Amino acid sequence: SFSNFGDGVDVAAPGVNIFSTLPTFPNSEGPLNFGSLSGTSQATPFVAGLAGLIKATFPSLTNVQIRQAIESSTDDVPGAGTLYKFGRINANSAMIAAGEL
């Protein structure tokens, strides 16, 4: 309910209570350097990191192929096909799919 969903969202990634760095100035979590955050800004790095891992491992793959590997290897979770096009990313499955391209 607090994150992006709909036709413009292709894959899902973990985005609730993700332990992360926080600003070093006082914020809603207090004057900590780490804490749990939720939202699209916490999920996006998982997908970007997976794309980077695939590119580093298989440098000849194009962006279209990397996207294909990620989208074709998702786990089916509630909301797939309605809240977002595909399921939740699966790094192991995506790496296997990328190696087969």
Given this model, what pLDDT does residue 11 score?
A: 95
**39 or 100, which is more confident:** 100
CB atoms within 10 A of CB 55: 16
CB atoms within 10 A of CB 13: 20
CA proximity to 41, closest of 65, 61, 22, 66: 22
- Render pLDDT for 8-36 as a digit per residue (tens, 0 to 9): 899 999 989 998 887 666 656 666 678 88
Give tens-digit pLDDT for 35-62: 888 888 889 999 999 999 999 999 999 9
Residue 2 has pLDDT above 70, yes or no: yes
3-state class (DSSP) for residue 91: helix
In a 13 Å sphere around the CA of 40, the CA atoms on its Cβ side amount to 11
Residue with tokens 């979590």: 29
Contact 70, 50 (CB under 8 A): yes
- pLDDT in the model for residue 3: 80
Strand locations in the chain (E): 18-21, 34-37
pTM value is: 0.84
Domain ranges within the chain, ordered by starting residue: 18-99
**Side-chain-side CA neighbours of residue 32 (13 Å):** 11
